[in-house]
């Protein structure tokens, strides 16, 4: 049974625009003087300004609907892209949505708690509950679910980032879609670069690539760039999704083992912590915007691109290779970081350096 047939056995609700474009980044590639860089535009999935969570939510909310849930609960930081897309998906499906947002990013400008994703969460009608950064998201969601059940509602808890075996199916499917595009374009892809946060996107890609083997351009390495945890912890996080996702699909044990063995995480671009800016991220966001007119975000894609740029400069990604950058979206988060990407007013010399 091929991968598409295996995926077709699971319920899915259409939430994402697809297939998303696969585009070359020639000006960025020339500027860096390394490999040919392409971008898989999962910032173009459509749902609530787009982003990678739409693919996961297609499977997660289908599961919720199949279980007759009427309330969706999830958690994240105040500027969570996942919370924003979950709130939008719930609104689209007529479901109540409760967001348990943990204040886990300290020292940000006031806009961090009023603009960007938070503004959109409110527009989508989500009930927003705020918790300290030390709160246990899993425990908080369980408490909310118990409260909902006691009041006669039918809650469904979506894990942080939508990252479990069901959510990862969205990126197993994305891997199949990408390999089909690569084959149609007659490209030979040597590597895929992706932000690795809650782990579901990274894990799904690994399972999809391993299942493809060398067929259709499969077998390329997947380079994950951590955005929060130290390397060993992030590898465990990805492994904890890879193994059950492969099992859920009924894949051969050898495929699961290959996917697990291919977990590769670089934690050198986390910076001061999750959601905290640093100069390499800022350079990456500005460089990609200036060369390609493409917006990254400060938390995920900006840090992953910083890792890719550094890898080119250090020779990890070399001339003659083709590297695909998976754009996970989130550019709406730029508006929550005006202190980093500031614009000076008239008479102040234009844009800040």
Residues recognised as catalytic: 80
* 126 φ, ψ (degrees, to nearest 5): -70, 150
- Asked if residues 194 and 222 have their Cβ atoms less than 8 Å apart, the reply is yes
Identify the bridge partners of residue 75 per DSSP, sorted by sequence position. Answer: 100
Other beta carbons within 10 Å of 252? 12
- Name which of 120, 124, 130 is nearest 75 in CA terms: 130
185 in Cβ contact with 317 (< 8 Å): no
Contact 172, 3 (CB under 8 A): yes
How far does Cα 168 stand from its chain's mean position?
11
The alpha carbon of residue 138 and the mean position of all alpha carbons in its chain are separated, in whole angstroms, by 19
Cα 30 from Cα 329, distance rounded (Å): 23
Q: Where does residue 254 rank: exposed (0-12), middle (13-18), buried (19+ CB within 10 A)?
A: exposed
């Amino acid at each position: 049974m091929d991968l598409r047939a295996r995926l077709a056995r699971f319920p899915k609700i259409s939430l994402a625009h697809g297939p998303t474009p696969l585009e070359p980044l020639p000006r960025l590639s020339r500027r860096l003087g390394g490999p040919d860089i392409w971008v898989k535009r999962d910032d173009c999935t459509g749902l609530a300004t787009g982003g990678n969570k739409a693919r996961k939510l297609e499977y997660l909310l289908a599961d919720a609907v199949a279980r007759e849930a009427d309330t969706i609960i999830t958690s994240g930081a105040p500027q969570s892209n996942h919370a924003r897309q979950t709130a939008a998906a719930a609104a689209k499906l007529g479901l109540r949505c409760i967001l348990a947002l943990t204040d886990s990013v300290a020292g940000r400008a006031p806009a961090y708690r009023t603009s960007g994703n938070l503004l959109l969460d409110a527009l989508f009608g989500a009930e927003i509950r705020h918790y300290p950064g030390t709160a246990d998201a899993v425990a908080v969601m369980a408490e909310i679910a118990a409260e909902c059940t006691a009041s006669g509602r039918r809650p469904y808890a979506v894990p942080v980032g939508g990252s479990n075996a069901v959510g990862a199916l969205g990126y197993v499917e994305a891997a199949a879609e990408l390999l089909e595009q690569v084959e149609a374009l007659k490209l030979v892809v040597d590597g895929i670069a992706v932000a690795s946060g809650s782990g579901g996107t990274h894990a799904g890609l690994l399972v999809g690539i391993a299942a493809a083997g060398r067929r259709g351009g499969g077998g390329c390495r997947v380079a994950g760039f951590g955005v929060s945890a130290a390397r060993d912890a992030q590898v465990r996080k990805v492994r904890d999704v890879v193994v059950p996702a492969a099992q859920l699909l009924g894949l051969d044990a050898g495929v699961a083992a290959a996917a697990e063995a291919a977990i590769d995480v670089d934690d050198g671009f986390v910076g001061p912590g999750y959601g905290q800016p640093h100069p390499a991220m800022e350079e990456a966001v500005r460089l990609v915007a200036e060369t390609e007119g493409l917006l990254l975000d400060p938390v995920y894609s900006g840090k992953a691109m910083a890792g890719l740029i550094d890898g080119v400069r250090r020779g990890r990604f070399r001339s003659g290779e083709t590297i695909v950058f998976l754009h996970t979206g989130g550019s709406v988060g730029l508006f929550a970081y005006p202190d980093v990407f500031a614009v000076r007013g008239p008479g102040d010399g234009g844009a800040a350096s």
